[in-house]
Structure 1
Amino acid sequence: MVDSISFVEVWKTYERELGSVSQPALRGVTFSVRQGETLGLIGANGAGKSTCIRLIMDFIRPSQGVITLNGRSPDKSSLRHDIGYLPEIASFPASLTILDMLRFVGAAHDLPKTVLAEQSERWLRALELWDARKRPIRTYSKGMQQRASFVLALVHDPSLLILDEPMSGLDPIGRASIGRLIQDLKGQGKTILFCTHILEDVDRLADRLLILHKGEKRFEGTPSELSMAFGTTSIVDGFLHAIEVTQS
C-alpha cells in the first residue's frame, strides 16, 4: 500500500537577503503517514512544523530529499483534488459569505453544481453553519470561522487532510466540537496530519505522533511507544524527554 505522505531525508534551508544561507529549517527528516492514519505533528516554535506543512502543500520546495503524496510529487496538479487544507489563520474577504467562498472552491476543484450544492449543505449543517450561510464570514465568531475553514477544506471530499493548528484560539466547547469532527473524519477513513501545540489533543486524536526539534526528527511512533521509550506516564513528559535527551 502506498503511503499517503512520505518524506525521505528531506532538508530545507532558506536563503537570507543578499544570498546568505541560514541554518536549515529541516535536517534530513524521514517519516510517513499511512492511508487512513492520523498523525499528530508536534514541536516547539521553530521546530520545523510549518516548513513540513508548506512542503506538503507545495508552497515551497525541498533543498534535498524526496516527498511524495499518494505516490506522487507534491507539484502534480492532480493532487489538489486529493488534499483538504486548513490553514492556521484563515483570511476571509470582508463582504463574502461562506456560500460565496464555496462557489470559489467548487470552481477550483471542478465540482459539478449539483455535487457542490449537496456537499455544501451536508457540511454546513454538520458544522452548524447552515443558518449563518448568508452572513459575511467576518461577522462570525472565532469558533464559527474555524468551522467555516473546515467546510471549505472538506467540500470536495479529499482523502488527505492537512490541518494546521485546528484547535487554535478555540474555547473548550469549540475544541470539543472540532475534536468530534476529527474523530468522525477518522471513522470515514480519511488520512489526517495535524499540527498542534496542544499535546493532550495528540494523545486523544492521533494514531501516531511525530516530534520535531530544531529541524530534526526526535521521535515517531504511538503515544504508548513514546511513554515506553522514555519511561514516562504522560505525553507531555515524553515530549519533554524527546527534545532534551539528545539535545546538544
Structure 2
Amino acid sequence: MEALQTLDLTKHYRSGSFTKKNIPALEKVSLSIEQGEIFGLLGPNGAGKTTFVKLILSIVHPTSGSATVLGYPLGQRKLKEYCGYLPENHRYPAFLSAENTLIFFGRLNGLPESTLKEKAHALLETVGLKDWAKVKTKKFSKGMLQRLGLAQALINNPKILFLDEPTDGVDPVGRKEIRDLLLSLKAQGTTIFLNSHLLSEVEMICDRVAILNKGNVVRTGTISELTTQKLAYHIHLSSPLTKEVRERLDQTILPIEYHETSLVVTLHEKPQLNLIIDILRSGGIGIEDMTQQKTSLEDYFIQIMKGENG
C-alpha cells in the first residue's frame, strides 16, 4: 500500500470582488509515494509545493481530483493520528518554554497526560534542545525554532511526516544532525515528505523527487535517474595515450576530452562505450577506473527550470 497517492489533484483559487477569476495553484498532480521512503517536492517559489501539502492535510480543499494517505481518503479524522507536520515559518507562543510547547501540542493530539512530559523531554533530547527545555521560545534563534518544530511534528509518532523547509536557518552541524534523524526515522519505517530549497540536502537524503513548476509536475524520478542524464564517462588510464591509440579514438567521431592519463568521452548511445574500451585495450592502454559523470541535483533543477520557463 502506498503511503500517499494523488490522482489529478487540482486547486484553483478565486480572486476579484466582481469578476471572479480562477488562479491555478495546482494542476492535475498525480504522485505515488511508497511507505518508508523519503520523497522530495522541489520547485521555485509559487510552484504549488505548500498548496500541495495543505491539500493533503485538508487545511484547504481541492477543486478536483482525489488523494489517499495510508489508504484513507482526504479529510478522514483518523489521519490526524498518523500525520506529523512542520510548516514553513511556524510560530510558537513566546511565553511558553520548549517543554510546555511540546506538552501543549501533545494535548492537541490527544496524547495521554501521564506520558506528555517524558515524551517532550525525549524529543527535545533527540533534536538537540535538552538543555533548553525550560527556556521560553521567545529567546530561541531561527535554527532552534526549526529544531523545536521538528520535535513538535514528531510528538504523535507519525507514520508519515510532512516537512516544509525543515533545515531553514539551521547551521551546518544542525543540518547534519537533522539529516541523520530523518534517515533514522526512515529506517524505522516512517514515510517523509520533504519540501526544501536546499537541493544539496535533498540530494543527500531523498529516495525520489518530483519537480513542480507553475502547479504542474514536470519531472519525477530517483536522484540517480535525474542526475545521470548524459552518457559521459571519465576513464582513468594506467599510462598516457599513444599517438596511434589517440588517432583511433578520434576516428570514432565522439566528443572526447583528453588529459595526460585520463579522458572524458560523451557517447551517443551506451554500446559505444565497448568500442572505446576495445580501442584502449588493443592499444595496450590499461583502464584503472571508469565512472559515469553526473550533474548535481541543483544544476539539473536549474536546467529544467530554464527549459520550462525559457
Deviation at 1:20, TM superposition (A): 1.4
Which consecutive unaligned segments of at least 5 residues does structure 2 have?
A: 232-293
Which consecutive unaligned segments of at least 5 residues does structure 1 have?
A: none
Q: 1:67 to 1:119 in 2, by over 3 A?
A: same
Equivalent residue number for residue 134 of structure 1: 134
For residues 159 and 52 of structure 1, the distance between their equivalents in structure 2, rounded to whole angstroms, comes to 19
Equivalent residue number for residue 33 of structure 2: 33
1:163-242 alignment, distance < 5 Å: 163-229=163-229, 233-242=295-304
Q: Secondary structure at the match of 2:36?
A: coil
Deviation at 1:246, TM superposition (A): 4.8
Deviation at 1:130, TM superposition (A): 2.0
For residues 2-36 of structure 1, the C-alpha deviation after alignment (integer angstroms, 9 at most, x for no partner) is: 21111111111100132612331111111111100
> Does structure 2 conserve the Cα–Cα contact (< 8 Å) formed by 1:218 and 1:243?
no
1:43-122 alignment, distance < 5 Å: 43-122=43-122
For residues 208 and 91 of structure 1, the distance between their equivalents in structure 2, rounded to whole angstroms, comes to 30
> Does structure 2 conserve the Cα–Cα contact (< 8 Å) formed by 1:161 and 1:193?
yes
> Does structure 2 conserve the Cα–Cα contact (< 8 Å) formed by 1:29 and 1:216?
yes
* Count of residues in correspondence between the two structures: 247
For residues 228 and 98 of structure 2, the distance between their equivalents in structure 1, rounded to whole angstroms, comes to 46
For residues 218 and 82 of structure 1, the distance between their equivalents in structure 2, rounded to whole angstroms, comes to 29
When normalised by structure 2's length, the TM-score is 0.75
Deviation at 1:103, TM superposition (A): 2.3
For residues 27-73 of structure 1, the C-alpha deviation after alignment (integer angstroms, 9 at most, x for no partner) is: 11111111001001101111111111111121111111001111112
For residues 113 and 187 of structure 1, the distance between their equivalents in structure 2, rounded to whole angstroms, comes to 29
Equivalent residue number for residue 13 of structure 1: 12
For residues 136-184 of structure 1, the C-alpha deviation after alignment (integer angstroms, 9 at most, x for no partner) is: 1111122211111111111211111000001112222222222222122
Say what the alpha-carbon RMSD is for the aligned residues.
1.7
Deviation at 1:83, TM superposition (A): 0.6
For residues 104 and 159 of structure 2, the distance between their equivalents in structure 1, rounded to whole angstroms, comes to 20
Deviation at 1:230, TM superposition (A): 6.2
Q: Say which one has the larger Rg.
A: 2
Higher normalized contact order (CA 8 Å, seq sep 6+, divided by chain length): 1
Of the structure 1 ranges 158-167 and 73-82, higher mean CA displacement relative to structure 2 is found in 73-82
> Does structure 2 conserve the Cα–Cα contact (< 8 Å) formed by 1:13 and 1:21?
no
For residues 229 and 17 of structure 1, the distance between their equivalents in structure 2, rounded to whole angstroms, comes to 44
Deviation at 1:219, TM superposition (A): 0.8
Q: Which contiguous aligned blocks of 4+ residues in structure 1 show a shift greater than 4 angstroms? A: 229-232
Percent identity between the two aligned chains: 36
Deviation at 1:223, TM superposition (A): 0.9
Q: Secondary structure at the match of 2:189?
A: coil
More helix by share: 1
Q: Secondary structure at the match of 2:80?
A: helix
Q: 1:246 to 1:139 in 2, by over 3 A?
A: closer
For residues 132 and 247 of structure 1, the distance between their equivalents in structure 2, rounded to whole angstroms, comes to 46
Equivalent residue number for residue 272 of structure 2: none
